[in-house]
């Protein structure tokens, strides 16, 4: 169980690019990072609007002269200081991730970047090589995968409690884009333009969360082939999609079905996962992250609760609040940031043995998300044909 005790020697000097006052995801980063004393926010280029960014940064407690107008100024300004920033989080629109990550790594800074990581696998592989050469960590904020019961599902699959996995069923949907985009805010505008969003809208925006979580629960299974059907119900969003279905065949014979949509009008259910094995199934939703439905064929169904001693060690190790008390998304993000901090600390100490067994969403997780997107687009563009996964 986690209790706020610092798990690394000293707090990392941390900065943010993006995640400003009007940004959707910035606070999730700060509430995750600042929870356990593993990061200290020392600087930022928080906003495209430099003045608003400075005012915001000062109100977050950052010194005014360390609230920069651009990420380039942040890198240059911090390089001049003995106590300069060590790790930078990138919470900006997708099209900026690659260039900001590259510039930070070249300046010797660890990076924590939003998903979808970049536009292409080629970019991911180039950055993976650069990070390795520089001895730096790239973390990716798949923020939902810090929930303790996600790791319970993974441990149960690993122990064989479900039997052979046969069916994977995942859904991440909402209805916030059911209407057209007339008068839409910045976050919708950049998400629906391929120049700023990349090759996908909802597949990258929410589908990559499903895919990464399934990789954690089913690390032994790889996709052989997939079929993606995508559509823009609001035509101005084409060629990007606001709705998609993906069918997947896995190398163990399992079948997968994934649905992402931002036009599921009225839906507030968000994410749902069901992993079906030859003996039993587990089902989990981020709407009720404290509960895991465990159904064994021929037995009464069970609801497992977070923090209970009957859970697997991997799940209890990620618990913060203890049984009976609600855990939520903030706790999950804190775990993600903590696990990335431990990776950065180990890298700084040259502790490769720790890194070999330490679990955190890193550059490979980011790359695999982009690889899955590339395959989805290839299938959709071929008229929703089955394509071999590559
Ligand atoms: P947003 O448009 O709401 O906010 C973007 C923020 O970045 C704003 O503050 C903007 O001023 C700032 N910004 C833009 N360009 C900048 C630049 N060049 N330099 C400095 N600041 C800049 O976007 P959002 O919804 O917060 O999404 C940001 C990223 O986070 C996207 O990649 C998105 O996919 C991802 N995201 C992830 C999650 C998650 O759960 N992990 C949730 C939401 C968004």
Distance CA 65, CA 94 (A): 27
**Residue 93 in contact with ligand 1 by CB distance below 6 A:** yes
Residue 4: inside a domain, yes or no? no
pLDDT in tens, the chain (390 residues): 999 999 999 999 999 999 999 999 999 999 999 999 999 999 999 999 999 999 999 999 999 999 999 999 999 999 999 999 999 999 999 999 999 999 999 999 999 999 999 999 999 999 999 999 999 999 999 999 999 999 999 999 999 999 999 999 999 999 999 999 999 999 999 999 999 999 999 999 999 999 999 999 999 999 999 999 999 999 999 999 999 999 999 999 999 999 999 999 999 978 999 999 999 999 999 999 999 999 999 999 999 999 999 999 999 999 999 999 999 999 999 999 999 999 999 999 999 999 999 999 999 999 999 999 999 999 999 999 999 999
Q: Length of the chain in residues, anyone?
A: 390
Provide the CATH number for the domain around residue 316: 3.30.360.10
Residue 277: inside a domain, yes or no? yes
Is the domain of 380 the same as that of 280? yes
**Residue 173 in contact with ligand 1 by CB distance below 6 A:** no
Task: Say if CB 168 and CB 218 are below 8 A apart.
Answer: yes
**Residue 141 in contact with ligand 1 by CB distance below 6 A:** yes
Cα dihedral 145, 240, 376, 372 sign: negative
Predicted local distance difference test score (pLDDT) of residue 228: 98
Provide the CATH number for the domain around residue 39: 3.40.50.720
Predicted local distance difference test score (pLDDT) of residue 269: 79
Task: Say if CB 38 and CB 341 are below 8 A apart.
Answer: yes
Residue 299: inside a domain, yes or no? yes
303-310, Cβ contacts within 8 angstroms, sequence gap of 24 or more: 304/149, 304/152, 306/147, 306/148, 306/149, 306/152, 307/1, 307/148
**Residue 48 in contact with ligand 1 by CB distance below 6 A:** yes
CB within 8 Å of 383: residues ≥ 6 apart = none
Q: DSSP code of 99? A: H
Is the domain of 162 the same as that of 270? yes
Spacing, Cα 283 to ligand 1 middle (Å): 31
Residue 255: inside a domain, yes or no? yes
Largest alpha-carbon pair distance within the chain?
Answer: 66
Residue 28: inside a domain, yes or no? yes
Task: Say if CB 14 and CB 48 are below 8 A apart.
Answer: no
**Residue 143 in contact with ligand 1 by CB distance below 6 A:** yes
**Joined tokens for residue 44:** 């930022």
Residue 300: inside a domain, yes or no? yes
Is the domain of 209 the same as that of 110? no
Distance CA 12, CA 272 (A): 35
Which of 25, 52, 67, 98 to mutate for ligand 1's pocket (most ligand atoms within 8 Å of CB)?
A: 25
Is the domain of 136 the same as that of 203? no
Is the domain of 136 the same as that of 177? no
**Residue 92 in contact with ligand 1 by CB distance below 6 A:** yes
Residue 6: inside a domain, yes or no? no
Is the domain of 214 the same as that of 233? yes
Residue 7: inside a domain, yes or no? no
Is the domain of 167 the same as that of 98? no
Spacing, Cα 114 to ligand 1 middle (Å): 8
**Joined tokens for residue 317:** 């190790």
Is the domain of 312 the same as that of 190? yes
Distance CA 231, CA 172 (A): 16
**Residue 22 in contact with ligand 1 by CB distance below 6 A:** yes
Is the domain of 31 the same as that of 174? no
Nearest ligand 1 atom, CA 71: 19
Distance CA 278, CA 275 (A): 10
Q: What is the residue range of 62's domain?
A: 12-144+337-362
Distance CA 303, CA 282 (A): 10
The domain tally of the chain equals 2
Task: Say if CB 39 and CB 337 are below 8 A apart.
Answer: yes
Which of 22, 46, 48 to mutate for ligand 1's pocket (most ligand atoms within 8 Å of CB)?
A: 48
Task: Say if CB 119 and CB 342 are below 8 A apart.
Answer: no
Is the domain of 158 the same as that of 134? no
Is the domain of 140 the same as that of 17? yes
Spacing, Cα 45 to ligand 1 middle (Å): 12
Is the domain of 213 the same as that of 165? yes
**Residue 56 in contact with ligand 1 by CB distance below 6 A:** no
């Amino acid at each position: 169980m986690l209790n706020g005790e610092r798990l690394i020697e000293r707090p990392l000097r941390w900065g943010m690019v993006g995640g400003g006052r009007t940004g959707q995801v910035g606070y999730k980063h700060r509430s995750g990072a600042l929870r356990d004393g593993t990061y200290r926010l020392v600087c930022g280029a928080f906003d495209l609007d430099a003045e608003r960014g400075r005012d915001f940064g000062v109100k977050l407690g950052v010194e005014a002269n360390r609230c920069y107008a651009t990420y380039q100024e942040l890198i240059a300004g911090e390089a001049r200081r003995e106590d300069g920033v060590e790790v930078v989080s990138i919470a900006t629109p997708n099209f900026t991730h690659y260039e900001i990550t590259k510039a930070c790594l070249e300046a010797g800074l660890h990076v924590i970047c939003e998903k979808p990581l970049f536009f292409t696998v080629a970019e991911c592989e180039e950055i993976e090589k650069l990070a390795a050469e520089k001895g730096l960590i790239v973390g990716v904020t798949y923020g939902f995968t810090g929930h303790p019961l996600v790791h319970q599902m993974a441990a149960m699959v690993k122990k064989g409690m479900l039997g052979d996995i046969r069916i994977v069923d995942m859904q991440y949907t909402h209805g916030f884009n059911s209407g057209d985009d007339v008068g839409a805010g910045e976050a919708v505008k950049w998400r629906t333009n391929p120049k700023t969003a990349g090759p996908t809208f909802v597949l990258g925006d929410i589908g990559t969360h499903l895919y990464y979580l399934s990789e954690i629960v089913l690390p032994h299974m790889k996709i052989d082939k997939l079929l993606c059907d995508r559509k823009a119900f609001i035509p101005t969003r084409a060629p990007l999609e606001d709705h998609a279905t993906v069918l997947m065949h896995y190398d163990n014979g399992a079948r997968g079905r994934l649905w992402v949509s931002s036009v599921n009008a009225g839906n507030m259910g968000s994410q749902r996962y069901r992993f079906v094995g030859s003996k039993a199934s587990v089902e989990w939703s981020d709407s009720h992250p404290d509960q895991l439905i465990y159904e064994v064929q021929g037995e009464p169904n069970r609801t497992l609760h977070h923090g209970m001693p009957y859970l697997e060690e991997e799940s209890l190790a990620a618990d913060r609040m203890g049984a009976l008390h609600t855990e939520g998304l903030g706790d999950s993000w804190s775990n993600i940031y903590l696990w990335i901090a431990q990776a950065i600390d180990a890298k700084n100490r040259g502790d490769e043995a720790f890194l070999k067994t330490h679990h955190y969403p890193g550059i490979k997780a980011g790359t695999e998300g982009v690889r899955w997107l590339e395959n989805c687009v290839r299938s959709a563009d071929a008229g929703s044909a089955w394509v071999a996964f590559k």
